Each structure stands twice: as structure tokens, then as C-alpha cells.
Amino acid sequence: MTAHRILLTGVFGPFGIKNKYAEGTGMQMELLNNQITRGQGIHSPRQSYWTFPLYLLAENISVPSTVLDFPSWRKFTSELKKGYTHVGINFIPANVYKAGRMARYIREHYPEIKIILGGYGTIIPDLKDIVPCDEICKGEGISWLRNYFDENPAAPIKHPAIFGPAYEYIYGVKGRPSGGIILPGVGCENGCNFCITTHQFNKCYVPFLKTGKEIYDACLKSKIKIGTSGFTIMDENFLKTPLRARQLLEEMARNNMPFVFDIFSSAEVIKQMGVDFLVRLGVRMVWIGVESKANSHEKTKDIDLKALIAELQSKGISVNASAMLFMEHHDKDSLPEDIDWVIGLGSDMIQFMNYTPLPTTTLSERLAREGRLKDMDYRHFHGQGELAFDHPHYKNPRDHFTILKKAFKKKYTTDGPGILNMASTIISGYREAVKDFIDRSSQGLAWNPETLRYEKTDNPVPDEFMLLRIKMMQKMAMNIRMILPASMVYSPNMRARRKARSVIKLYRESLGPLPFANRVLSGLLIISGLVETLRLAMARIRGGESIVRQPPSRRVEYPLSAVTIRHLHRKPVLITPRSTGESLAV
């Protein structure tokens, strides 16, 4: 019997280029520039993330495997020559025709290879008519693959050390990605009618890392292997499992290891846990679904979102609010009001998405019963273009594009660049953290891990962990400070320019003058920003909306060898306790 060997791959590039396999608009491999800082030109941070589920799958099966991330067509076809018994293709609905081309090529040239389809693209009802395959992996993939290869589905899950971005650019300068990715689980219990995540997992949450200790160990593993202390937690509603989050904070405090996190969380659990808890936990940015002024979802019911967002920002936590356009109640009056409402919440950034009835969601099922679903090509199911259903008030597809783009532009011209807003939030939070620390020390207040509040105590002890947290906040402020001159020079209007000047002044008051070396780097950002502005202008002359960047390809064999680990990761870091004896002052 031939030993199994599986290739786990994403779809082939290029990405963001319109051709017969995919669209251009909305299909670049960049979340920020596609859906959040869209239309902000050179101010938009450019990032592309690796297809991290592939690495998690490969790490947790015994079958020898290879991950091929962002392959070109040539690299994909060349890889097939290396002898595989199975190929797993991960894709989203809008990339289904790319998956189809890959599968047809396998069928023609390697008919003995078994084809397994996975990812959110598997929600397509007539998938087998478009993509020839042997199996469709639906739901949670680790246990599915283990069952398929006759392995123990209940075996412990090993979390790999995963780099975050595949690339980073800001004002045209290429950075060195340093973040990590943590995947604690999949699914969501909130059950929003449009959400594919909640429906893909039957409105349940499936944890991979069940305790705070397991998450802490995964972070520590990444710190040792790739030298990162900052992580994006890819979990639809991380704080919805409060005990695990509390345990994570306890582990960090016990070990004096103040990791930093970007998380997704709903408003009602943020209110439950308290903003001070998020500060101690090390949340740098939180993504909150606000959806609509109508507040028809339980996660936002009876919550003053504007006040909550302001409190988070005052404590140094940037907020990305996500809103839905063209919901069924939206008409010529209420849709503009909703756009103004979500901008008025004052979040650092906003993700605007068009209301999309993806297959298998309750929204899609209801619209199908009502005969309102359009017979629309799956390649357009990306939430940044034409609606996939018959809207009672917006019939013209052109409106679906133009109103969405105008919403992004209005946020940009009203509040300025998102990266400037984040810089403002970070320095404000640092100043507030120092002030609060001093006030609590003088008042004899200490953190109570049971109530998640600061309370009066007869025997207060120095809050060494919070000192470490404040030092980490100071470091984040120093890192982002260099973009401020460029954000001012290239401001979209006088309002944003005045805001940039105010933030620069706040940094100077808090951290002192910008060191000479950093002033040089800031000057280089201004120069590169000019070059990027010219490149952007040329891209628009050619009919594009922005500069299209392609992520690099990556190939990793599992099980990992020592040589592979040295190739993938940086030199391991030495972890030592950090001194907490520094004095702090604004």
C-alpha cells in the first residue's frame, strides 16, 4: 500500500487581478486595504496574512504533508510532480473558479490523487458541479482530517508558531513582519443571521486551546521560535469564553510576560469583563461588530456603543467597528443615517461591508424562500460590490459600489487616516495608564482577579505586572511615532492635518523630542510616501483603485525538521525576567 502524503494548498495567484477565474476589486490578499482602510491611499497599511489554517492542519496530522501558500500556477503544477496521494485545496466562495482549475488539472494529469476541498468555499451548494473532488471537509478541519486518515480525532492539538503578515508596507516602505497568530478555536454562538462563521459550525464554538494556560504556552512557543510578543487572536469572539481569558491574564502575570493582543469581541462581553481587564490583558486593538443603528442584534442591545468605544480608546485600545450597508431596513433616508451614525461612534477604523446572504446562513435561506436571491456568480460574493439579493430600495447595482466607496471616503475625510487615529489612541492610553497607576498606588487600590476590578486593600503591594504592561505601551507608542510626520504631510484635509499636529505635540510632551535616528527614518517615510503617491496615481490612471501587491509564495514540509525550523524562524530569543524598578512619569 502506498503511504499517504498530502499537499495542503491555497488557490493560485495573482490576486486582485481580474481574469476569468476571479475578480480584482475586493480580492487582493489584504484585509485592511480591501475592507477597512480602503480609499485612504498611501496612509493605508498594506498587509497580507499567510493562510494560517493550513499550518495548523499540517501540524496536527501524522501523515507527511506540505503546505504551499500563495502559489503561482507554475509552482502549484510543479509541486504536484513530487508525488502526493492527496491534495487539499482551501478557498473562499469568490475564488471557487481558481479551485476548479486546480482540481481539473489534477484530474487530467494525476487522476490517482484524491482531492479534498476545505475552507469557507465549501458552503457552495453546487460545489461538485464546479470543482471536481473526492471529499468535502466541512466544519472543523483537524478532527475531520484525523478521522479521514484513521488517526485519533481526540488527540491533543499542537499549536504551531505562525508568523502574522506575509508582508508589511507603510507609506511605501517595506517593513519586517513581527507579529504572530493564535487560533484558540472556531465558530461563534451569537448566531447573527448573515454570519458564515456561526453557521459553518452550527452556532457552536469549537475550542482548540481550552484553557488560558494552553494559550499562554502557544504564545510562549511563538516568542521562543519567532521572537514575537504581539499576536492577532483569530477567534470570532475571544472574550465569549471569559474563564479562559482570565486564566490567560493570570498566567502572564504569574510569569511577568505581558504579551499584546489584537482580538475580536462583541460589545456585550466587553461590558461584562470591563475595560480595565482588557488593558491588563494587553489588548491593543479590538474589533467590534456594531452593524447598524437599529441595534437588532443581542450583542449590541441596550449598549451605549459610543461611550464604550470612547472608554476603550481612552485606555489605549484601538477600535475597529464593523458595519453592514444595505440591510433590508435601509432606504434612501436610513442608510445615509446609518453611515453617519457609525462614523459618529468615533472608532479608529471602520469595516464597511455590503449585506451578503452567503449560502447556508439563515439570511440566505429566508431570502431564497421569498424568491429574492439573485442568480449571481460566486466570484462576486466578497461583500465589496453588487448585492446578491433583490433589495427593496436599492435596485441599481451601481449604487451598491458607489455608496460603499463614499462611506469609506467619508470616514477618511471626517476622522483622518486610520493609522493616525491608532497613534492617537496609543499615546492617550499610555498617558492614562501612567496616571491611573500613580492614582491607584496613592489610594491603596489593587487588582482583584475575582471581581476584575481595582479595589481598596489594607496591604497593597507594588503592581509589578502593570508596570511591565505600561512599559509595553510605551514601546508601542515609540514604534508608531515615526509615521506621524508623514501622516501630517499627506493629510487629506486641514482637519486631519490639525489632528496630526496635535498628536505629534502629545507625543513630544509624553516621550520627549524624537531622537535623531528616528527623525531620519521619519524623513525617509515622507520621501517614500511621495514615491508611493506617484505610483498610486499611475495605478489609478491605468484604471485600478490602488496599487496591487502580491504576497510571496511559501512552501513548508511537515513534520518540521531542524533545518526547516531554522529557515522559517528567526534566532530563538532568550526569555529572562524583566526589571520592574523603573519609575514612570508623563
CA distance 534 to 191: 45
Q: Residue range 507-522: average pLDDT?
A: 95
CA distance 289 to 360: 21
Task: State pLDDT tens for residues 210-259.
Answer: 999 999 999 999 999 999 999 999 999 999 999 999 999 999 999 999 99
- Asked if residue 520 has pLDDT above 80, the reply is yes
Pseudo-torsion of CA 29, 31, 36, 40, nearest 10°?
-40
CB atoms within 10 A of CB 263: 25
Pairing of strands 445-448, 65-69: unpaired
User: What is residue 296's predicted lDDT score, i.e. its pLDDT?
Assistant: 66
For domain 6-27+49-154+550-568, give the fold.
Rossmann fold (3.40.50)
- Asked if residue 347 has pLDDT above 70, the reply is yes
Pairing of strands 318-325, 283-291: parallel
User: What is residue 563's predicted lDDT score, i.e. its pLDDT?
Assistant: 45
- As a CATH number, domain 168-412 is 3.80.30.20
User: What is residue 461's predicted lDDT score, i.e. its pLDDT?
Assistant: 87
Residue 194 CB partners (closer than 8 Å, separation 6+)? 324, 355, 356, 357, 358, 361, 363
- Asked if residue 576 has pLDDT above 50, the reply is no
Give the H/E segment covering residue 284.
Answer: strand 283-291
CA distance 48 to 168: 7
Give the H/E segment covering residue 261.
Answer: strand 260-264
Give the H/E segment covering residue 205.
Answer: strand 205-207
**pLDDT bracket for residue 544 (50, 70, 90):** confident
Q: To the nearest whole number, what is the mean pLDDT of the chain?
A: 92
Listed residue (281, 266, 301, 188) closest to 231, CA to CA:
281
User: What is residue 193's predicted lDDT score, i.e. its pLDDT?
Assistant: 86
460 or 101: whose pLDDT is higher?
101
Any idea which residue has 483569530 for its cell? Answer: 234
Domain residues of the chain, as ranges? 6-27+49-154+550-568, 168-412, 420-527
User: What is residue 202's predicted lDDT score, i.e. its pLDDT?
Assistant: 85
**pLDDT bracket for residue 574 (50, 70, 90):** very low
- Asked if residue 295 has pLDDT above 80, the reply is no
* Contact (CB, 8 A) for 121 and 95: yes
User: What is residue 581's predicted lDDT score, i.e. its pLDDT?
Assistant: 38
Task: State pLDDT tens for residues 106-158.
Answer: 999 999 999 999 999 999 999 999 999 999 998 899 999 999 999 999 999 99
Q: Residue range 169-178: average pLDDT?
A: 91
DSSP secondary structure of 71-96: --HHHHHHHGGG--SEEEEE--GGGH
- Asked if residue 579 has pLDDT above 50, the reply is no
CA distance 546 to 397: 22
**pLDDT bracket for residue 191 (50, 70, 90):** confident
User: What is residue 578's predicted lDDT score, i.e. its pLDDT?
Assistant: 38
Task: State pLDDT tens for residues 71-94.
Answer: 999 999 999 999 999 999 999 999
Task: State pLDDT tens for residues 348-370.
Answer: 999 999 999 999 999 999 999 99
